[in-house]
């Protein structure tokens, strides 16, 4: 048998990222062209396998059918929250004290403030001062329409990176409320009677996020706009009537590594329990608590250490088109992975270089 053909038929044609094996090198190349593997994918700290989602990595390490060798080591030296492997059990114990968060201390405080809970520290940077460059937003909805199913924004909260409240207000909807959803919102009619009108909130939030600049300057990737963090922000911004460009949004509901293995969105409640280690949204829900959870998730994703590389915000391009097929087939699996690019923007790229 020809040695060249023999080598192309061996299991050595294994993807350097997901470890899937192919009979022929050309099949591995096609896999790499379409898989968008990259160094930004969650990786097992034991065997080096990369997974598309953190949920996939969790299954790989914890089960229900984990990889036996990895699960054995992980049970002794692995953090069940950030899924990092440590050198020793002692190092893991030291790490856990910092990795597991406790429920946000001021949670529930705003709930007791009723309609007096208006806090407004929104400031436009004037060139001499530098305000928060990353903020988290959460809203709570009441129901409108004949059956109360229409979402109306009735409460909003914004916090900075240090979890300080920079804006909180109840909002007076533009149409009558037919269901206050008190069991989860805690909102009563009297809280909204003299609340801030929706149009006023729209203007304040839009101006603050854009830092007083026209939104077209942000669309063209210029200006000093702020990064906006949240969960299900498309819905929140739509209910608020606020427009904001996707390149400045960090949404934990659609961030690929945080999706379910079926590419569906995980709930904020699940993400907080799984990756931060505490429970939220029990009983009456506080938007401040949601803001803190999304900010902590964002900071955890942003703090990941990946090889430094520059690529467009929403790239769908790989480097494979720059090389001929025969050149690609001569490359090693590791070399193919090195030229592959993700199909999403990794939040680690925000670290230390927040857009201005």
Q: Which of 104-108, 115-119, 248-252 has the highest mean pLDDT?
A: 248-252
Task: Looking at the structure, tell me whether residues 177 and 140 fall in a common domain.
Answer: yes
How confident is residue 334, by pLDDT bands cut at 50, 70 and 90?
Answer: very high
For residue 173, CA distances in Å to 61, 138, 155, 211, 239 come to 47, 16, 10, 25, 10
**Per the domain annotation, does 350 fall within a domain?**
no
Res 352: pLDDT: 60
Name 151's bridge partners: 143
Q: Which residues of 248-272 are buried (b: 16+ CB within 10 A; e: fewer)?
A: bbbbbbbbbbbbeeeeebbebbebb
Task: Looking at the structure, tell me whether residues 179 and 309 fall in a common domain.
Answer: no
Task: Looking at the structure, tell me whether residues 92 and 208 fall in a common domain.
Answer: no
**Per the domain annotation, does 38 fall within a domain?**
yes
**Per the domain annotation, does 353 fall within a domain?**
no
184 vs 109, which has greater pLDDT? 184
Query: For 259-292, how does the pLDDT look when each residue is reduced to its tens digit (9 = 90+)?
Result: 999 999 999 999 999 999 999 998 899 999 999 9
Task: Looking at the structure, tell me whether residues 138 and 71 fall in a common domain.
Answer: no
pLDDT surpasses 50 at 65: yes
**Per the domain annotation, does 146 fall within a domain?**
yes
Task: Looking at the structure, tell me whether residues 295 and 315 fall in a common domain.
Answer: no
Residue 64, preceding peptide bond in cis (omega within 30° of 0): yes
Whole-prediction pTM: 0.89
**Per the domain annotation, does 354 fall within a domain?**
no
Host H or E run for residue 178: strand 177-179
Alpha carbons within 13 A on the beta-carbon side of 111: 17
**Per the domain annotation, does 323 fall within a domain?**
yes
Query: For 294-304, how does the pLDDT look when each residue is reduced to its tens digit (9 = 90+)?
Result: 999 999 999 99
pLDDT surpasses 70 at 130: no
Task: Looking at the structure, tell me whether residues 73 and 149 fall in a common domain.
Answer: no
Question: What distance in Å separates the CA atoms of residue 236 and residue 139, rounded to the nearest whole number?
Answer: 6
**Per the domain annotation, does 261 fall within a domain?**
yes
Q: What percent of the chain has pLDDT over 90?
A: 72
Task: Looking at the structure, tell me whether residues 35 and 85 fall in a common domain.
Answer: yes
Task: Count the domains in the chain.
Answer: 2
Report, as an integer, the average pLDDT of 167-188. Answer: 93
Task: Looking at the structure, tell me whether residues 49 and 140 fall in a common domain.
Answer: no
Task: Looking at the structure, tell me whether residues 174 and 133 fall in a common domain.
Answer: yes
Task: Looking at the structure, tell me whether residues 282 and 321 fall in a common domain.
Answer: no
How confident is residue 128, by pLDDT bands cut at 50, 70 and 90?
Answer: very low
Residue 247 sits in a domain of what CATH number? 3.30.420.10
Among 68, 74, 69, 101, residue whose Cα is nearest residue 89: 74
Report, as an integer, the average pLDDT of 233-255. Answer: 95
Query: For 178-236, how does the pLDDT look when each residue is reduced to its tens digit (9 = 90+)?
Result: 999 999 999 999 999 989 999 999 999 999 998 878 777 776 555 678 999 999 999 99
Query: For 2-21, how does the pLDDT look when each residue is reduced to its tens digit (9 = 90+)?
Result: 444 444 444 579 999 999 99
State CA 110 to chain mean position distance. Answer: 25
Expressed as residue numbers, the domain containing 24 is: 3-100+305-344
Task: Looking at the structure, tell me whether residues 22 and 124 fall in a common domain.
Answer: no
Res 3: pLDDT: 43
Res 317: pLDDT: 57
Task: Looking at the structure, tell me whether residues 249 and 286 fall in a common domain.
Answer: yes
**Per the domain annotation, does 238 fall within a domain?**
yes
pLDDT surpasses 90 at 256: yes
């Amino acid at each position: 048998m020809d040695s060249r053909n023999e080598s192309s038929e061996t299991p050595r044609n294994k993807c350097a990222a997901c470890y899937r094996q192919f009979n022929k090198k050309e099949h591995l190349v096609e896999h790499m062209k379409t898989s968008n593997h990259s160094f930004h994918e969650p990786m097992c700290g034991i065997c080096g396998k990369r997974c598309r989602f953190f949920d996939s990595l969790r299954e790989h390490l914890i089960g229900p059918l984990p990889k036996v060798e990895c699960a054995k080591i992980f049970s002794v030296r692995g953090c069940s929250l950030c899924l990092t492997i440590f050198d020793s059990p002692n190092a893991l114990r030291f790490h856990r004290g910092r990795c597991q968060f406790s429920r946000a201390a001021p949670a529930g405080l705003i709930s007791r403030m009723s309609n007096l809970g208006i806090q407004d520290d929104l400031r436009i940077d004037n060139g001499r001062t530098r305000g928060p460059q990353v903020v988290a937003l959460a809203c709570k909805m009441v129901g409108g329409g004949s059956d109360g199913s229409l979402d109306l924004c009735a409460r909003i909260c914004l916090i900075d990176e240090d979890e300080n409240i920079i804006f909180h207000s109840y909002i007076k909807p533009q149409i009558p409320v037919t269901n206050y959803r008190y069991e989860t919102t805690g909102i009563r009619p009297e809280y909204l009677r003299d609340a801030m009108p929706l149009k006023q909130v729209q203007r304040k939030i839009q101006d603050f996020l854009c830092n007083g600049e026209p939104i077209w300057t942000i669309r063209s990737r210029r200006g000093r706009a702020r990064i906006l963090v949240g969960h299900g922000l498309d819905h929140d911004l739509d209910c608020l009537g606020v427009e904001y460009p996707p390149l400045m949004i960090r949404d934990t509901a659609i961030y690929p590594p945080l999706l379910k293995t079926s590419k569906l969105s995980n709930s904020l409640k699940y993400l907080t329990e799984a990756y931060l280690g505490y429970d939220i949204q029990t009983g009456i829900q506080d938007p401040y608590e949601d803001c803190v959870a999304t900010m902590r998730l964002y900071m955890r994703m942003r703090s990941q250490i990946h090889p430094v590389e520059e690529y467009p915000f929403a790239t769908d391009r790989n480097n494979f088109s720059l090389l001929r097929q025969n050149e690609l087939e001569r490359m090693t699996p590791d070399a193919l992975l090195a030229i592959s690019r993700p199909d999403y923007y990794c939040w680690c790229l925000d670290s230390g270089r927040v857009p201005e």
